[in-house]
Structure 1
Amino acid sequence: MKALSLFVTGTDTGVGKTRISVALLHALSAHHARVVGMKPVAAGIENINGVLTNEDVVALRAASTCAVPPELDNPVLLPEPVSPHIAAARTGVKIDIAHLVACHRALAQRADAVVVEGAGGFLVPLSDLETGADLAQALALPVVLVVGLRLGCLNHALLTAEVIRARGLTLAGWVANHVDPAMLAQQDNLAFLRQKIHAPLLAIVPYQPVFDPRALAFTLPLEWQ
């Protein structure tokens, strides 16, 4: 049986893609025995429990139900927490989209469900010529869009949804994540996005300084179950 795979992107960096990816892994694990997260490109290395790694990668691995070789779930780990194309250039690394696709294919053979978390926003540069949108297009997976509810989110959300569809990809659903507790007219913004995005709203995440991914209620489409 072919593994279910999803690509998680966001309206910007810092909108909660990792939190939502982790929550999706927990939700999918109720229906699939073997779920695994993938961070194809991670920028920013930290010393976590004596190991040099990336905190997003650690979170995805903790939410996965099967262990895989690190070169598969995080093929590119870059030292500096800057745009991937800058971090890669500074360390002489070439981000090879074909290799990332091959790593995903290997994960899909080992798991029942794979959640792939992109870096930054959808069009984040991976090199001078390629972006995260090129990676998503090469993977050809249904896309889940995380919208960070804050000032400016309407423009960012509608632009991102438009580009996803322009790339020939399916916008399978979106998540509204309240990242700014002081945002004015939150419910009005949310109501506007529900009218305009034209994709299922999978979850509404209240502002949570301490996030509990297992408590997040997802409305999963039947084909994901």
Structure 2
Amino acid sequence: MRPIFITGIGTGVGKTVTAAIITEALQADYWKPVQTGLEEGTDANTIQTLLSNTNSRVFDEVYRLHLPASPHIAAKEENVVIDTDKILARYQQLQKDSDLMIVEGAGGLLVPLNDDEFILHLAKKLNAKVILVSRNYLGSINHSLLTAAVCKQHNIDVIGWMFNDQFQGYEEDIVRWSGYPKIGSVQQAGTVSRSFVAEQAAAVRSSLQALL
């Protein structure tokens, strides 16, 4: 099965929690090929603590970069060039033993990986279906619709939207204007725990499976 790529309308919009929910819902494997900012731990470590099922595996990153910055900047700080062919080769190895891979990107679709390629190029190179993560805040309609426009411009295969946070009733407007369906909305939680992720995964499982 083609991988599912999790991307967002920006940074800090809930991609990792959404990735945990989708991974748990489908009992898939998880992989974040490029991780920047190691001081507070990695997204892979976070995912590992949030999964309840025993089928999912969390794979190591291809690039682990210390600076919490855009991948191309963090890579330059360490005299590294992010090579998407290297990431693709690693995916081809991993997928031989994986029924379904959830791949988490960094930031949004136009986050640079190197001087020539962006996150969207990695999603396309992996031949992935994409889930868009939108957080409800002032300005999120614009950011969401710009993200949708980029997907259409580049013929990206979008499964649908995952929404989170509670601000105003933007979700149905974004669905209508973008033309992409809603998979689900993540409920607010004081603490994101393993039980919370399992509960949210159960809530979106049927709608997610219907769209795959």
> Considering the TM-score relative to the shorter chain, is it more than 0.5?
yes
Distance in 2 (alpha carbons) for counterparts of 1:69 and 1:76: 12
TM-aligned CA distance change 1:8 to 1:81, over 3 Å: same
TM-aligned CA distance change 1:21 to 1:167, over 3 Å: same
Aligned with 2:29 (options 36, 45, 67): 36
Gap regions ≥5 residues in structure 2: none
> In the alignment, what sits opposite 1:51?
none
Distance in 2 (alpha carbons) for counterparts of 1:69 and 1:136: 17
Please state whether the residue corresponding to 2:81 is helix, strand or coil.
coil
> In the alignment, what sits opposite 1:214?
198
Aligned with 2:17 (options 19, 41, 45): 19
Give identity over the alignment, percent: 33
Letter in 2 for 1:24: I
Report if the CA contact (8 A) 1:66-1:111 is conserved. Answer: no
1:142 and 2:129 matched: yes
Letter in 2 for 1:213: V
> In the alignment, what sits opposite 1:108?
95
Distance in 2 (alpha carbons) for counterparts of 1:107 and 1:200: 30
TM-aligned CA distance change 1:177 to 1:223, over 3 Å: closer
Distance in 2 (alpha carbons) for counterparts of 1:68 and 1:145: 21
TM-aligned CA distance change 1:28 to 1:140, over 3 Å: same
> What does 1:9-158 correspond to in 2, within 5 Å?
9-29=7-27, 35-46=28-39, 54-62=41-49, 63=51, 65-67=55-57, 70=60, 74-158=61-145
TM-aligned CA distance change 1:155 to 1:116, over 3 Å: same
Task: Quote the offset at 1:4 in angstroms.
Answer: 4.3
Report if the CA contact (8 A) 2:159-2:211 is conserved. Answer: no
Task: Quote the offset at 1:83 in angstroms.
Answer: 1.0
TM-aligned CA distance change 1:75 to 1:174, over 3 Å: same
Task: Quote the offset at 1:77 in angstroms.
Answer: 0.5
- TM-score by length of structure 1 reads 0.83
How large is the Cα RMSD of the aligned pairs? Answer: 1.8
TM-aligned CA distance change 1:69 to 1:169, over 3 Å: closer
Q: How many residues align?
A: 202
Gap regions ≥5 residues in structure 1: 30-34, 48-53
**TM-superposition CA deviations, 1:44-63 (whole Å, max 9, x none):** 1137xxxxxx4311123443
Please state whether the residue corresponding to 2:175 is helix, strand or coil.
helix
Aligned with 1:199 (options 163, 180, 195): 180
**TM-superposition CA deviations, 1:71-113 (whole Å, max 9, x none):** xxx1010011111111000001110001111122222211111
Distance in 1 (alpha carbons) for counterparts of 2:73 and 2:32: 18
**TM-superposition CA deviations, 1:118-164 (whole Å, max 9, x none):** 00111101122211111112112111000011111001101101111
TM-aligned CA distance change 1:4 to 1:214, over 3 Å: farther
